[in-house]
Amino acid sequence: MPILLHSNGAILTKLNDIVTELSPLNVRLKQFDSETSPLLCDLLSQDLLGETAKQQILEFYDSRFAFLKQEGEYSWSDLLTLHPGSANLYPLMTTYSRYHTHSAPEALHILAGEAIFGFTQADGTQLQLLVQPQDYIHIPANTEHWFSLSVSLHLKAVRYFTTVEGWMPHYTGTVVNNPLGNLR
């Protein structure tokens, strides 16, 4: 279940309210019921996954969410797995925790753990969106945002790509403004 925090301290927890709030940014947010097998639950609970396990997870979700690839014209997907022992955890958090854009859409289906996205509205106010398992977020190309993990530092998500180069960050220089604290 997503949670949206306004810079004025207001918190939204109803999906429809959050979707309405994000609509001017053209950010799409959906939730999917999870019907998972015991094997899949076990795999998603593990920090370290081998290539075979990652492939099993991707095959399970690709078969169930093939329409996401069609809807977003994605050409491929991968499994993002982050945890406190991940070699790339801190460089990734440093890279994406500043306001940036991408030349391609950013789409994630959260399978386990949590992530936070920050957005700036047209009036300059900032929002923080906590996404959790079963949440799917699609951020259009050239939409200013930032990304971080929650304090748990755990995330497993299917990422959908149109191009590899499209996910390279282009920093905007906007300052992350969190006068009332944050969800991070």
Tally Cβ neighbours within 10 Å of residue 47: 12
Domains of the chain: 3-171 (2.60.120.10)
Residue for token pair 């991940």: 86
pLDDT tens for 65-110 read 777 777 777 888 889 999 998 988 988 888 899 999 999 999 999 9
Contact status, residue 135 vs residue 2, Cβ threshold 8 Å: yes
Could you identify the residue written with the tokens 């180069």? Answer: 165
pLDDT digits (tens, 9 = 90+) for 115-137: 999 999 999 899 999 999 999 99
Separation CA 81–CA 47 (nearest Å):
8
135 contacts 29 by C-beta, under 8 angstroms: yes
pLDDT digits 0-9 by tens, 143-184? 999 999 999 999 999 988 888 788 889 999 999 876 445 554
Assign 70 to helix, strand or coil: helix
Alpha-carbon torsion angle 78, 111, 49, 68, nearest 10: -20
Please report which confidence band the pLDDT of residue 14 belongs to, taking 50, 70 and 90 as the band edges: very high
